[in-house]
Chains A and B, each alone.
Chain A
Amino acid sequence: MSGFSNYLRLGYEHILSLDALDHILFIVALMAVYQTKHWLKVVIAVSCFTLGHSLTLSLGAFDMVKIDKSLIEFLIPLTIVLTALFNMTKAGQNVNSKSKYWIAGVFGLIHGLGFSNYYGMLVMGDGNYWQALLPFNLGVELAQLLVVLIMLVIMGIYTLIFNRKIRDWNLFVSGAAFGLALIMCLETWPF
């Protein structure tokens, strides 16, 4: 295998491990208000998330961003809590608004900070910066798109086969994400 595919695999497997549960939970909350037919909007929102966290984790590798780790560990689940709450508002349920893209991008920046120590590991400092980071980030994106695909299928089954409203789905998923993330916030309370 080439280096490219190895780093891709590393990013992919990392997101699909339990260690990245908060990552998956954020994506699930982010897409809770959409229906299966809005799949393209979901893909755009998730890609904004990838862009955001790719950016800060790459900066982390440059040692440009050094923020208290315990604060980051608290802010990450807080982004999930806020996203789930936003899903309960009228604005948050408007699937035609671009607000979710912005939320994904900005909150992605925070999630990327949680990855920043990984990047020292990925970059050896001899000119192979993108050789490792680019495929790693692509692997992360691929894994996230797989999560999106699985969720879209489940949502499709719920709304089309069981003929239930996406509103109920949103209440269930956002409520679950809110509850889990709130516990994470309390566990990581830094103040």
Chain B
Amino acid sequence: MTIFMPRHDFHVSIAQVDYKQQSLQMTLRVFTEDLEDRLEEQSGLDLDLGTPTEHEKAPELIAEYLREVLAFEADGMELPMRYIGLEVEYELSYLYLEFPCVEPPKELLVRNQIFFDSFEDQSNIVNVKVGEELRSAFLSPGEGETILEF
């Protein structure tokens, strides 16, 4: 009998993005379990993220997946993505990324579709700070990208 008890799953990711030193610097917070399950399912590997036995291919797989689901377009130009690394703190994982962008964006298209292919109720919040201005995007399978104006 496993029909009734709700699983208390919280399918959420939250990203903090700061425009600094001519780039959008992103910390993306995800649940470690969600990330590991998604990547292991695709690759068939045992990844052990954030442990001493982490698979050597893990960074490559993470970067590849992030390139699939994440993107920024600043004033119509798609920004290149640089994956910096991963920090695992128990249930939470912090993914660090950088998107070089010479001028501070005025109109920023934000796409974050991470785990949309895992959960139909996934919600991704992306908070972006340019100068003193803070904007926030709420992305879900119904709306996978949105435009923020600064």
Q: Report the Cα distance A115→B27, complex, angstroms.
A: 23
Q: Does A141 contact B (CB under 8 A)?
A: no
Query: In the complex the two chains form, is B29's CB within 8 Å of A124's CB?
Result: yes
Residue of A nearest to B90 (CB): A120
**8 Å CB contact of B29 from A20, A114, A115, A121:** A121
Query: In the complex the two chains form, is B138's CB within 8 Å of A114's CB?
Result: no
Query: In the complex the two chains form, is A188's CB within 8 Å of B27's CB?
Result: no
Q: Report the Cα distance A14→B11, complex, angstroms.
A: 9
Chain B residues positioned under 8 Å from A117 (CB to CB)? 10, 91
Q: Does A178 contact B (CB under 8 A)?
A: no
Q: Report the Cα distance A40→B136, complex, angstroms.
A: 35
Chain B residues positioned under 8 Å from A121 (CB to CB)? 10, 12-14, 29, 31, 92
**8 Å CB contact of A18 from B6, B14, B123, B136:** B6
Query: In the complex the two chains form, is B125's CB within 8 Å of A10's CB?
Result: yes
Number of interface residues of A (CB under 8 A): 34
A-side interface mostly: helix
B-side interface mostly: strand
Number of interface residues of B (CB under 8 A): 28
Interfacial residues of chain B within 23-61, with CB under 8 A of chain A in the complex = 27, 29, 31
Q: Does A64 contact B (CB under 8 A)?
A: no
Query: In the complex the two chains form, is B14's CB within 8 Å of A124's CB?
Result: yes
Chain B residues positioned under 8 Å from A68 (CB to CB)? none
Which B positions have Cβ atoms within 8 angstroms of A? 1-2, 4-10, 12-14, 16, 27, 29, 31, 89, 91-92, 121, 123, 125, 127, 134-138
Which A positions have Cβ atoms within 8 angstroms of B? 1-3, 5-7, 9-10, 13-14, 17-22, 73, 77, 114-115, 117-118, 120-122, 124, 126, 132, 180, 183-184, 186-188
